[in-house]
């Protein structure tokens, strides 16, 4: 049995956080998004601009809350939440491009709801997946880089028995577990650190579930974890 476990070390830092999880099984990933999905992504790029109301980018509430969260654990210099990278593009009229159907779906959700999303190929996990503060030196090979860049002591990351899967929440993804055109079973995650936006998280997860049903023919299990319900089964 494989599980996803949010470790007590995470809840010690973020006791009010919610972790949204979507398990997508038996999907048809495909290589290129249909025109309707590309249009949905384009529309989402425009909607993202509504969250950028402050004159200084870092002072926008949806940016500031994750910057504050990143101060609570060790990070590499320059590490930022994935939602910041997407909204930075929106602020510069540099829309997030189409990549593949699943990535387009969760990028659209991120942009529409100003929440970070990430995804991994569930079949690549070695043992349980954990969101935890690491002791450091977990092997990590980022996408597009063949050199090991191990985790730091005190860093927050997703890791399994083989090493780090994704570092600093959804800052940097690993090559080993990345989504590909051959992915059949995917693990999607969204971390909410602002408890006042729980409704937005629920809407974002439902949005992804709806689009997966439309474009990927996948079966979706949706769960929101908290400190009282910190784990779920990935595979029996």
Q: What is the pLDDT along the chain (236 residues), one digit of tens a residue?
A: 899 999 999 999 999 999 999 999 999 877 889 999 999 999 999 999 999 999 899 999 999 999 999 999 999 888 999 999 999 999 999 999 999 999 999 999 999 999 999 999 999 999 999 999 999 999 999 998 889 999 999 999 999 999 999 999 989 999 999 998 889 999 999 999 999 999 999 999 999 999 999 999 989 999 999 999 999 999 87
For the structural domain made of 2-235, what CATH number should be given?
A: 3.50.40.10
User: Residue 218's pLDDT is what?
Assistant: 85
Cβ burial of 71 (10 Å; 0-12, 13-18, 19+) is exposed
3-state helix, strand, coil in the chain (%, to 5): 35, 25, 40
């Amino acid at each position: 049995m494989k599980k996803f476990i949010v470790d007590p070390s995470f809840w010690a830092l973020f006791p009010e956080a919610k972790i949204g999880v979507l398990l997508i099984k038996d999907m048809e990933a495909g290589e290129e998004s249909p025109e309707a999905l590309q249009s949905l992504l384009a529309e989402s790029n425009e909607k993202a601009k509504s969250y950028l109301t402050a004159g200084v980018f870092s002072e926008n509430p949806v940016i500031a809350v994750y910057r504050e969260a990143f101060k609570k654990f060790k990070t590499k210099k320059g590490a930022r939440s994935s939602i910041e990278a997407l909204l930075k593009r929106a602020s510069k009229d540099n829309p997030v491009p189409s990549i593949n159907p699943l990535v387009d779906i969760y990028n659209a959700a991120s942009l529409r709801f100003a929440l970070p999303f990430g995804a991994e190929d569930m079949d690549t996990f070695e043992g349980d997946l954990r969101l935890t503060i690491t002791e450091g030196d977990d092997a990590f090979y980022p996408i597009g880089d063949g050199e090991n860049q191990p985790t730091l002591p005190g860093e927050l990351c997703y890791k399994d028995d083989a090493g780090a899967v994704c570092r600093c929440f959804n800052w940097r993804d690993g090559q080993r577990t990345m989504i590909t055109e051959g992915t059949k079973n995917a693990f999607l995650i969204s971390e909410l650190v602002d408890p006042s936006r729980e409704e937005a998280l629920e809407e974002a997860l439902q949005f992804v579930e709806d689009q997966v049903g439309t474009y990927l023919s996948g079966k979706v299990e949706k769960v929101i974890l908290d400190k009282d319900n910190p784990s779920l089964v990935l595979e029996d």
